[in-house]
Amino acid sequence: MKGRRGQPSLEEQLRAAAEAFPYPPTPDIARAVRGHVSTTVRGRARPQLRWTVAALLLFLLSLLAVPQVRAGIGALFRVGAIEVVIPTPLPTALPSQEPAAENPSPPPAATRHSTPTPLFSVLDLAGETTFAEAGRQANFPLRLPTYPKDLGPPDRVFVQDLGGPAVILVWMDPGHADQARISLHQLGNDIFGEKTVESREVLEETTVNNRPALWVRGPHFLRFKGRPDDDFPEPARLVDGNVLIWEDEDGITFRLETTASLEEARRIAESVR
């Protein structure tokens, strides 16, 4: 699959990058992921899909641990505290014109890079608390959606210190006690997040209350840090639903995770008060 304007897809870019490094042969995981996406159920994905996407996630994280690959990462969009990136093609090295040495030195041994254990669900987050306590810890007023009318208060609340307080509100699916119906991140302007997506085709620019917003479809991973030049200390989290990202006039960034359509997600987002 080719990206917009003939740009290689993430699968092709990663394969090209991987060939330059001493990694073992990698199966065509991206194709398997796309084949299983249609089996995603409402809320959390089926176990087979989750583990397939997790394998792709770990492969991506292994590549991102290599400086040359990280240097080839380029930003596509930024909305508030969240930047969306996609690996870009690495420059092709020209063959050396120098004569080969009679006794060439052996190539350096491959450096193994550890990868963090991914989180499969927003329900796996640490820092669970109450809504009242989250309001005390946050350095900004918390807001709640008023749509749909049957939504009510959040069922679960998490606060994490990511260089600043991040508040995550979760509403559970009434018919499935272990599945999230929607979740809403509220992030101050002292937090920086990064999403890595497969291609430009999964992104759609939109608006929330006439302010720029971004719609991200399908599996991707998300991680946070406190400053732009910091490494990412938090484990990446697998996101297998759709996400609407926007920033309000006070500089608070919102991430709405949902299996609903873009139209429905915008209605929820515009009801946040």
Separation of alpha carbons 219 and 240, rounded Å: 4
Mean pLDDT, range 200-208, rounded to an integer: 94
Residue after which a domain boundary falls, among 58, 73, 88: 73
pLDDT given for residue 89 in this prediction: 53
Give the tens place of pLDDT for each residue, 86-126. 866 555 544 455 555 555 555 554 444 444 456 768 888 99
Higher-scoring residue by pLDDT: 51, 209: 209
Query: What pLDDT, on the 0 to 100 scale, is given for residue 196?
Result: 84
Residue 93 lies in a domain: no
Edge-to-edge, what's the strand order for the sheet holding 220-225?
73-79, 82-87, 192-196, 220-225, 237-239
pLDDT of the residue at 223: 86
Has residue 96 been placed in a domain?
no
In a domain, 114, yes or no: no
Residue 146's CB is within 10 A of a number of other CB atoms, namely: 12
Contact 138, 267 (CB under 8 A): no
Boundary-marking domain end, from 42, 73, 104: 73
Residues 136 and 237 in one domain: yes
In a domain, 87, yes or no: no
Residues 60, 191 share a domain: no
Same domain, yes or no: 148 and 256: yes
pLDDT at 242: 95
Beta-strand pair 220-225/211-216? unpaired
261 and 189 belong to one structural domain: yes
Question: Rounded to an integer, what distance in angstroms lies between the CA atom of residue 258 and that of residue 137?
Answer: 25
What DSSP element (H or E) covers 18?
A: helix 10-19
- Asked if residue 94 belongs to a domain, the reply is no
Structure confidence at residue 264 (pLDDT): 98
pLDDT by residue (tens digit) across 32-86?
545 544 444 444 445 555 555 555 555 555 545 555 444 445 567 899 999 998 8
Tell me 188's DSSP state.
-
Q: Token pair 């009510």 is at which residue?
A: 152
Residues 163 and 37 in one domain: no
Last residue of a domain, one of 33, 54, 73: 73
163 shares a domain with 257: yes
DSSP string, 34-45: HHHHTTPPSSSP
Domain presence at residue 163: yes
Question: Residue 222 sits in which domain range?
Answer: 122-270
Structure tokens at 213: 């917003």
Determine what percent of the chain falls in helix, strand and coil, rounding each to the nearest 5. Answer: 25, 30, 45
DSSP assignment string, 77-115: EEETTEEEEEE-PPPPPPPP-SPPPSSPPPPPPPPP---
Q: Find out whether 194 and 82 touch, Cβ atoms under 8 Å.
A: yes
Distances (CA, A) of 88 to 16, 104, 182, 208, 269: 10, 32, 32, 29, 32
* 131 and 224 belong to one structural domain: yes
Average pLDDT of the residues of the chain: 76
Domain count, the chain: 2
Q: 64 and 145 share a domain?
A: no
The answer on 161 and 69 residing in a single domain is no
Indicate the pairing of strand 165-173 with strand 211-216.
Answer: unpaired
Length of the chain: 273
Q: Check whether residue 164 and residue 259 sit in a common domain.
A: yes
Residue 44 lies in a domain: yes
Tally of CA atoms within 13 A in the half-sphere of 238 that contains its CB: 25
In a domain? residue 13: yes
Q: What is the pTM of this model?
A: 0.67
Kindly state whether residues 252 and 126 are assigned to the same domain: yes
Question: Which pLDDT score, from 0 to 100, does residue 199 have?
Answer: 85
Residues 132 and 229 grouped into a single domain: yes
